[in-house]
Amino acid sequence: MGLMTFLRNKAGIIIVAVIGIALVAFLLGEVFRSGAPLWASRQNEVGRIDGEPISYAEFNGQVEMATNNMRQQMGGQLNPQMASYAVEQAWQQNLQRVLYNQEIERVGLNVGKNELNDMVSGKNPDPMIVQNFANPQTGELDRAQLTQFLANVSNEPANSALSDQWGNFLLMLKENRLIQKYNGLVQNCLYVTSLEAGEDYSQRNKIANFSYVLLDYASIPDKDIKLSDGDFKEYFNEHKKAFYNNSELRSFDFVVLNAAPTAQDTAATLEIVTKLGEELAQSTNDSLFASSNSQTKYPFNYIKKGTLNPALDSLVFSAPKGTIVGPVYSNGLYEVAKVVDVRNSPDSVTARHILLNAAAEGGTDKAKAKADSIANLVRGGANFAALAVEFSTDGSKNNGGELGTFPRGRMVPEFENAVFDAKPGDVLVVTSQFGVHVIKVDAQSGMSKVVKAAIVDKAVQSSKATTDAAYKKASNFFGSISSKTFGEEAKKNGLEVLHATNISPMQAYIPGLESSPRELIRWAYKADKGDLSDKIYELDNQYVVAILTDIKPKGQLTWQQVRNEIQPDVLKFVKAKQLKQKAEDALKGSQNINQVAQKLKSDAVPVNNIVMANPVIPGLAQENAVVGTVFGLQPKKLSKAVEGNQGVYVVELTSFENPAAPGNLDRQKAQAAQGLAQRASNLVFRALMEKTEIEDNRVKFY
């Protein structure tokens, strides 16, 4: 009986214990079977949106696609800020896809096969198609290039890299179109009433004239205010919603050991460029010499005045042919140039062309022979537009080959040199990287001096001795500090402690640092409060040592967590209470603004022509609460004390000037509706984000 009683009394505890042991055994079994615990599967996730995992491999592919698109548009390497933008762009695409999916499915939206085909190759293709298959000369869609690409994709195996990339691109097109449709539905549900349109018109056109008395916050010295915990709590409770973090924020202090070029480094670079200038003077192949020895790789082409850095530009355009000019210093570079040629040239050219694809014609020689035949037909009076439609592979064929009027710098060098050296009416055959062109020069306008110059430049860079000295100083500092002595040691070494406050996980810039701080921020999001940086971080010509000072979690913050940053606002808040009491005392028994001003030993300042839509008091600040109060008053009536940005106000309305009735209220309704529609998509997206659980772990990878 004793055993049965014991089992009955302890059965719940025994069951819980057995289940607990079983769970532990299961997890340990997973560890031994797979070499990692279950939770390790999330280590390769960039984040989760509404429970849907975003894998690093998938996300990084999207980042690379965005990066490649930017690189094509920018024509080369991307700076760290643009690379960060590519990561943000990929994240926003995933947010939009997941957040909108449920809504799109709920209302039954879809993109059919015919619609998708029309988005790719129809009369009005999607802007993303135009962007990726544009002719670099005209910026218009190159349909020949698009057709060739689609043919190549159709010949690829279904699981090839090209097929996968194209499939992902089409999926992106489809998702974007679905979002456009959904936002269109939302916008079509919006309506502006006649009353709303009239109120909007009134806010933009109704004029208020008033006078005010201002008790400036600066009239109370900061030293006279003793802030208590109660002041902080009261201010915080009144503004609590402003202190909700959508993501975790981290703060750290840091010192910078500068390894910027010294005067000796600058002199050494000047010596190198001076010697290169002497060698350039003797060169027999100026373009090859400049290309081999220059950092910037300027195109060897005719340029117009104002193209180069001002100091070099002035010298180049005042020197005769064959002259070496420079070295000159500008934007961290020393430059030297050889003036190869000087001439007068048209400012712009109007031309049309027919482009032949050399590969499709069986090689460049055959393409040139065919181009010569077409050129002879044009010279003989044949219709150029008809020939363009028949033979050209460029998108301009649909417009008779017209390229319009363009200045220097718009076309590739071979094309540009030919048309600017020709005469109006000339028909030319020119080979470029895009194929073989038959060009008709229709007109030239303007005439100004142009110069062809071979330019060599070198950036002034820190020498090894300079960087070694800075790194040694950084190492000595790094080795001497602890979490308790960071500031003390910095002061002892003559180093300024800088503050990076409330840094978000994907922030791309920190004041005081010259280059992208991504690696430093990744450390900050792995560290605990009080931790020193795990190493000396090298950012271009800067060595950085840091200490993590604060962690603000995602969600609602407490007043203690924001105490330091809200202190100036709390100070103003306490001053406002004192000044409001002073103003309310002055209002007692006062019949007009002048009497209030007299009691406060101040002046009543008149203000005219203020509208609600632009609540700025001339000479002071934007004062929404004050101007809003004015528009709620009756003429010759005094307001209560109003807390503003500059101080505490008492206002008296002089008069309103009502606008004439709108001539066309329908137009006013349309304008208001358009503004509402433009805001709608952002408001919808924000609303969807607020009700969705979002876990953002990008800082672990980027």
Q: In what order do the strands lie in the sheet with 402-407?
A: 402-407, 348-356, 435-445, 427-432
Residue 250 pLDDT level (bands cut at 50, 70, 90): very high
pLDDT tens for residues 501-539?
999 999 988 999 988 899 999 999 999 999 999 999 999
Say what the pLDDT of residue 663 is: 76
Range ranked top by mean pLDDT from 38-42, 151-155, 310-314: 310-314
Tell me the HSE value of 161 on the side-chain side, using a 13 A CA sphere.
Answer: 2
Say what the pLDDT of residue 295 is: 86
Say what the pLDDT of residue 368 is: 93
**190 within 8 A of 197, measured Cβ to Cβ:** no
Residue 638 pLDDT level (bands cut at 50, 70, 90): very high
Phi, psi of 359 (to 5 degrees): -65, -40
Say what the pLDDT of residue 195 is: 84
Whole-model pTM?
Answer: 0.65
pLDDT tens for residues 323-341?
999 899 988 899 999 999 9
Say what the pLDDT of residue 76 is: 62
Distance, in Å, from the CA atom of 293 to the CA atom of 455, rounded to the nearest integer, reads 9
Sequence-separated (6 or more) residues with CB below 8 Å from residue 568:
none
Mean pLDDT for all residues in the chain:
87
pLDDT tens for residues 413-456?
889 989 999 999 999 999 988 889 999 999 999 998 989 999 99
**162 within 8 A of 152, measured Cβ to Cβ:** yes
Say what the pLDDT of residue 133 is: 85
Distance, in Å, from the CA atom of 318 to the CA atom of 310, rounded to the nearest integer, reads 12
**192 within 8 A of 673, measured Cβ to Cβ:** yes
Distance, in Å, from the CA atom of 251 to the CA atom of 162, rounded to the nearest integer, reads 44
Say what the pLDDT of residue 206 is: 92
**394 within 8 A of 401, measured Cβ to Cβ:** yes
Distance, in Å, from the CA atom of 459 to the CA atom of 325, rounded to the nearest integer, reads 18
Distance, in Å, from the CA atom of 111 to the CA atom of 602, rounded to the nearest integer, reads 68
User: Mean of the pLDDT values across residues 17-38?
Assistant: 40
Distance, in Å, from the CA atom of 412 to the CA atom of 299, rounded to the nearest integer, reads 10
Please state at what angle helix 384-391 crosses helix 364-379, rounded to 10 degrees: 160
Say what the pLDDT of residue 41 is: 55
DSSP letter assigned to residue 349: E
**359 within 8 A of 148, measured Cβ to Cβ:** no
Distance, in Å, from the CA atom of 262 to the CA atom of 458, rounded to the nearest integer, reads 15
Q: What tokens were used for 40?
A: 């390790």
